[in-house]
Amino acid sequence: MQMTIERRCRGVLPHYFADGVLWATRGNRWVQSADLGASFQEVARLVDGSQRAFSKLRAIDRFAHITPFAVVPTRDGAVAFAGRGLSRWQRGSDRFVPMDGPVDFRPMRRGVCAATDGSVYVGEYRHNGGELRTTQRAAVHIWRLDGDCWTTAWRFPEDTVRHVHAVIEHPARPGTFFVCTGDTNAESVVWLTTDAFETLTPWQAGGQQTRTCDLVFLDDALIWGIDSPLETSGICRVAGMDGPVERLCDTPGPIYYGGRNEAGHVWFGTSVEPGPSVVTDRVHLYASTDGGRCFADVFSRRADRTPQLSSILFPRGTVPGTAVVLSLRATWRWEGQMVVARIDA
């Protein structure tokens, strides 16, 4: 199995697919592409004033976080999450407008969930005592945005979890949400709610094996990558919703995110960060063309020498056809580039 690269798009961060159209940010521009990055149409601008100039300089923006790290669709447009706060775009407008809210942190990419009922959920992601729990944890919240109104969907009590990695709605079961938390063994749980967060119960609690930042759903299975710099990471699979956890393979570094396409190909990307289980200075893409049963290492790039963690990012939604769409972060010479490729069995 190998991956063939078709094009590289400089400065493009893909956020999601909607009806086969890719929505992305490119410098200070909110853009869309109906041909997988062969061409882009500008829809709106992200920031104004002095920030507009800095947003065009990737060397500055990658550390200042002026442009959004995550953008999710809403019924009337999109909500963007950047290091400097929240903003909203409404269809027909040519600008993102700053908005108020309790989110004064930068969530993880899958820590923001645009639900089918029109609401947006945001899981808190903070330092909160460090990975090894050197101090007592503060309470951790999941916030819900309905229109212009923010409420608390769920509150993890003090000293319960460090932070939220992901809030994900099951694509075939509207109203069923999974919440992924970390980072110690007791805190690394995949939680489940089917009653709009009236209750939240553990679905999988297996220590570092269930420390994850993303879930990929197939017709007959649910798959995730392990995000652990402490123990050997890998890829796990559960048949249906109640099968046993099957570990499919090990990986040389923690996995943050994954994705899939219409052909049923599945992939996950590893990161480079400090930790005893990280045994490479390269990010790797592990892919499967047999419905998420057998994974192979099909692509890698060396991390650059900045203090930023190196990783592979993927857009939300299902990628059209047999394509793979990814973005490389803190990687040598390919930093900040969107890559469109194909996987050959």
Asked if 324 and 7 touch (Cβ cutoff 8 Å), the reply is no
The confidence score (pLDDT) of residue 190 equals: 98
Domains observed in the chain: 2-344 (2.130.10.10)
Tokens for 211, please give them.
């420390």
Least confident of 3-12, 58-67, 77-86, 196-205: 58-67
Say if residue 33 is exposed, middle or buried (CB neighbours under 10 Å; 0-12, 13-18, 19+). Answer: buried
In tens, the pLDDT along 100-155 reads 999 999 999 999 999 999 999 999 999 999 998 888 999 999 999 999 999 999 99
pTM: 0.95
Who's near 107: CB < 8 A, 6+ residues apart? 70, 81, 122, 123, 124, 125, 164
Asked if 319 and 327 touch (Cβ cutoff 8 Å), the reply is no
The confidence score (pLDDT) of residue 40 equals: 98
Cis bond upstream, residue 183 (ω within 30) = yes
Asked if 137 and 181 touch (Cβ cutoff 8 Å), the reply is no
Q: Which helix (H) or strand (E) covers residue 42, if one does? A: strand 41-45
In tens, the pLDDT along 80-102 reads 999 868 999 999 999 999 999 99
Model confidence at 294, pLDDT cuts 50, 70, 90, reads: very high
Task: Name the 3-class secondary structure at 289.
Answer: coil
Least confident of 54-68, 113-127, 146-160, 189-203: 54-68
